[in-house]
Structure 1
Amino acid sequence: MNFIHLVKHGYKMSLSLNTNSEIDEPWNANVGQKILSVYFSTLSLRSEYWPDDVKLDGFESLLMDEAYAAFKGQRYLNLFALNNDRMRACPDKLISICNEIKGYRKILTSDKITLLFNMYYHLHTMDGVINYDSTIDGWDYPASDYKFDRRDTFIFNRSFHDGLNYVIETFPDRFRNDINVIILIYLIVIFNGDTTGLKCPEMIRHEQFSYIYLLRRYLRTVCESDCEASDNHYRLMVKIEHVRLLTEKTKNKFLRLLHEPLLETITKAITLGVPKRMPQMFQAPHLKT
């Protein structure tokens, strides 16, 4: 009876994943402008001189290895925990990851707080897009010991649910299992130089451009052609933008569900400090270097 009630109100019984990248992706001017900005930056000069060189160079491999080591090859961010039917933000793991990135360590403390506060829900929703499990039609978070059904998102907010469905169904499914792509997407989300309130936005924008460029270069190592790599790069960047717009619409409702104000939680976690992990050497898998 609950299912019938949900269907009558517009609930979609099952989702179709984008397994062949043949779904039309309309032109997004904001995404196009950002990609072009990266292409016309100094980052892409080398690829212009060596257009047939598919392998990542030494700097690109080093940057990819640093990112992989920071995330320890993990795809789940686990940014929230449930406690008595209320959410609790858990930023320690995210901050620990960020502290392993050289570009993040150079940022002013106030900008670190501003970035993570503004990107927190964007990261959480992107985590949901990437880690959606069609076999259970929902999400399984082993670290938090709970499962989340897609129906719960419909009940929480239909507009958010429908927007999330669209991103999940149009996300290139082949990259849900590519840890390097997942990590680079998270880093592109984090280093958003367009965030309001930053004191040094250009430094952060440079970091984001580096990861946008690296994503394009990495895709060239796993795609059959430069055209295919470019197409998937655009598709993934559009998904990042779609998730940003979606979370902006529902951020305030999420905020009301928290035990403690998110800004206060993140400020405490950053200023008090998260214990730094012992340095370890990780090699990103399957890199054609």
Structure 2
Amino acid sequence: MPPIDVDGERGNLLAVCYRMLGTVADAEDAVQETYVRWLRLSEEDRAAIRNPGAWLTRVAGRVCLDMLGSARARRERYVGEWLPEPVPEDSPVAASVPVDPADRVALDDSVSLALLVVLESLTPAERVAFVLHDVFGVPFDEIAATLGRSSAAVRRLALHARRRVQERRAGDASRAEHDAVARAFAAATTTGDLDALVSVLDPGVVLRSDGGGRASAALRPVASADRVARFLLGLPRLEPDAVLHAVQTPDGLGFLATLRDEPSAHFTLRVRDGRITDVYIMRNPDKLTQWS
């Protein structure tokens, strides 16, 4: 049987599966199932695999494809809005094997919440093709074996997904502009200045919060600058002892609210043309474990 660095491959597989599935817990489940399938092979079959890492990645992609197919049915029963899980820049799932960055999504950007939200709009096959090829540089022929389609068909899937991502993310602010707007947002929020807060929000801003039935959150999106501003300024009344911290995220400057030194909410902002167009608030404690 060829040698395999289980720990090393596990880190790479977690990175792949998180980008496909959007939560750390689901990624861990997918990696576990991948290793179960490896262990189910006979000694002879494992010995015949020349590149165990590539085999594991291909199987992980298949596992994620199956999980994505059932995820939509599960989310229909989810309490309120479902959002991908935000992670710190130094989270283990943000790590990856190095790839040629030319014409591919930057690896730090590939774990941004804004991108993961866009990936949720893709079909499962498009998402698998995009993540494996555009983020991790897996050849189309290998992805074709994962998806059970021709290489040409997989190329079309990745191309369509790439266009959707580019269209949805066109005009997003640079890191410097994002962080400047985020600081103005924090100043207005912490001082309770309604006018100042409205001024940094786009008129069509949408706020989404995910409590998962585990924590209080808006069950539906909140839209318009005035409504979003009033919603945000009302949050301190829910947890008056919470402390807000600025944190660096793959999306740029974000904010983490803690209560008795435990994370209670995470705020991610999307900025375009100098104003905030989207506010994502994670309240589900199951999706805040990376911030403990």
Taking structure 1 as the reference length, the TM-score comes to 0.32
Q: Which has the larger radius of gyration?
A: 2
Which has the bigger relative contact order, CA under 8 A and spacing at least 6?
A: 1
Q: Which structure has greater helix proportion?
A: 1
Q: Which structure has greater strand proportion?
A: 2
Taking structure 2 as the reference length, the TM-score comes to 0.31
